[in-house]
Amino acid sequence: MANNVQHYQSILNEIKDFNSILGRDHRTPSPLIPELQNVWEWEDNTGLPIFPALIPVWQRFFPTHLMNRTRGLPPFAETAVGQAFVDGVQGNLQTFAVNTKLNPGDSYKTKLGLLRMIYYGDFKKIQVVDGRSQIIISKNNDVLMSYDDEIKEKGLESGQKSVSELITEINENATRGHTGPGTYWCRHNNCTETGPCITKSAIVEWGSQAGQVFYPQKRFFCNSNNVVYLMYCQACKDEGKWTIYVGETNTARNLHNRLSLHRQQLIDQTNREKYLINTTFHTLVQDMISGCSPDPDQLIRDTYVHFEHHHSKDDRRITILDGNFPNDVARKRHETLYQREFGNYTYLGNGTGSLNRFF
């Protein structure tokens, strides 16, 4: 047992050591780690796996995003009822009850607030029962099944659902999910453009050539910030080519915001200042692509141009390479490492290859 614990701890230490990652030869991509592939619980703030061997059997992780303020209001988790749920989730009891009368005011509204928090928290391997003045939660170790046509992966906004409807949704959702590392949909109802482009896989083949594959070692979501990400073109891959771009987001801007900028402006600042995006611009780009006009500023070596003219925004595929960096310098250094690992600034011409430029 001790050796087992040491083994999983060593894996955890390895994948969270940013200095070790920076010391890796960029020609040797990160390996597939078999022990990560069946992990179903991950820290939402760090992206790190939660190995069952390293925690008490019934202890579970409480998502940090549930502690965020909404419209300036304190989160439900900070109320007496919310804290009782947090304590129960993080405790080592298989079954616990939360008294919904602990909060002042309407007990039914309190119960709704608790259930909405549980639903939005996307908790797995639990079963919720309405016990009148309390909500009873039982944890289990059942096999987590994949989403399918019967129970689909959908947005987690609770809307106007009743107590009974929320309990049904929570219990169904708790039986389905993803295992392994990767980048996954944030499950916001209004995430209709980024969500479909997320890779949702522990094996990311970003090009058509041998070795053009990435094995994630952490789990992130499309609303994560402070990350380095990979964008590649599925259409180019299907055509036997490859086109990629590696970028980063800071602590104040999540991936949604960053990708929306890719749809609005050129990535090169000099070109942004020189060219206005209008009808004349699009005509010029088409002439450059067809070879009728020269491209001295490498306008078509750009994510905006690629997914507006060569292929469509629906051909984008996005995966987060790493995140939760300790500072801006660390994130920038990792961005450079991954730009070398993915394409090494090799431009193949006519909008394909690496869209990153080496300055």
Average pLDDT for residues 185-197, to the nearest whole number?
90
The model's pTM: 0.93
Q: How far apart are CA 283 and CA 246, in angstroms?
A: 27
Average pLDDT for residues 63-85, to the nearest whole number?
88
Alpha carbon separation from 123 to 40, 126, 170, 233 (Å, rounded) = 11, 7, 8, 33
pLDDT of the residue at 182:
97
Helical ranges in 16-132 per DSSP H: 18-22, 80-90, 107-120
Q: How far apart are CA 350 and CA 299, in angstroms?
A: 10
DSSP label at residue 128? E
* Count of CB atoms situated within 10 Å of the CB of 161: 16
The yes-or-no verdict on residue 354 having pLDDT over 80 is yes
Q: How far apart are CA 181 and CA 39, in angstroms?
A: 8
* Count of CB atoms situated within 10 Å of the CB of 50: 15
The yes-or-no verdict on residue 95 having pLDDT over 70 is yes
Averaged pLDDT score across all residues of the chain: 93
Average pLDDT for residues 319-335, to the nearest whole number?
95
> Is residue 25 very low, low, confident or very high in pLDDT (cuts 50, 70, 90)?
confident
Q: How many CA atoms, within 13 angstroms, populate the side-chain half-sphere of residue 18?
A: 18
Share of the chain above pLDDT 90, in %: 80
How many helices and strands in the chain, by DSSP H and E? 11, 12
74-82's contacts with Cβ under 8 Å and 24+ in sequence apart are 75/117, 76/113, 76/114, 76/116, 76/117, 77/117, 79/103, 79/110, 79/113, 81/110, 81/113, 81/114, 82/113, 82/114, 82/117
The yes-or-no verdict on residue 140 having pLDDT over 90 is yes
Q: Which residue has the tokens 């690629």?
A: 306
Q: How far apart are CA 182 and CA 173, in angstroms?
A: 19
> Could you read off the pLDDT of 262-309 as tens digits, one per residue?
888 999 989 999 999 999 999 999 999 999 999 999 999 999 999 999
> Could you read off the pLDDT of 208-247 as tens digits, one per residue?
998 899 999 999 999 999 999 999 999 999 999 999 999 9
Is 273 buried (19+), middle (13-18) or exposed (0-12) by CB count in 10 A? exposed
pLDDT of the residue at 80:
97
Q: Contact, 218 vs 201, CB < 8 A?
A: no
Average pLDDT for residues 310-329, to the nearest whole number?
95
Q: Which of 29-33, 121-125, 130-134 has the highest mean pLDDT?
A: 121-125
Average pLDDT for residues 174-202, to the nearest whole number?
93
What is the CA angle 313-315-319, rounded to 5?
Answer: 100
pLDDT of the residue at 160:
87
Give the three-state DSSP class for 177: coil
Alpha carbon separation from 299 to 32, 302, 336 (Å, rounded) = 36, 6, 22
Q: How far apart are CA 42 and CA 49, in angstroms?
A: 4
> Is residue 206 very low, low, confident or very high in pLDDT (cuts 50, 70, 90)?
very high
Average pLDDT for residues 318-337, to the nearest whole number?
95
Average pLDDT for residues 250-261, to the nearest whole number?
89
The yes-or-no verdict on residue 189 having pLDDT over 70 is yes
pLDDT of the residue at 2:
63
The yes-or-no verdict on residue 1 having pLDDT over 60 is no
